Amino acid sequence: MYSVGIDIIDIERIKKSVSSDKFVSRVFSKKELDYFSSKKNPYPSMAGSWAAKEAFSKALSTGVRGFSLNEVSVLHNDFGAPFLELSGKALKIAKNLSFSVSISHTDTLATAVVIAYTLEKHAVK
């Protein structure tokens, strides 16, 4: 099974939103905040993470229901490639799925694509 979600966000919109501590704590995990703090300009990365979380919810075909956005952490491997780390209700909802993530941005926009898939083998009849 495959399902795809995509999202695009104006970086300036995220820059304005993160001035609210309530928004930041509702949306981002501690690990993400640590990553952002290492950036000279964190806003494109924050917008990319937001877009990935929205794309994740679309790949689930649920929207953001039944889990909190801060339960979906957008982290990066040693080569900089993004991946999702799920916790809490998000992990329970997506327990049988794996995800592939791609994030990109310009000076003004960030976008992300999330592909959800299962590795089920079909029985031969």
Catalytic residue positions? 58, 105
| Cα–Cα dist 123/105, whole Å | 42
The neighbour count for residue 115, using CB atoms within 10 Å, is: 17
Of 4, 24, 116, 15, the residue nearest 70 (C-alpha): 24
In DSSP terms, which residues pair with 74 in a beta bridge?
84
Please name the residues in contact with 87: beta carbons below 8 A apart, sequence gap of 6 or more: 29, 71, 73
| Cα–Cα dist 113/18, whole Å | 22
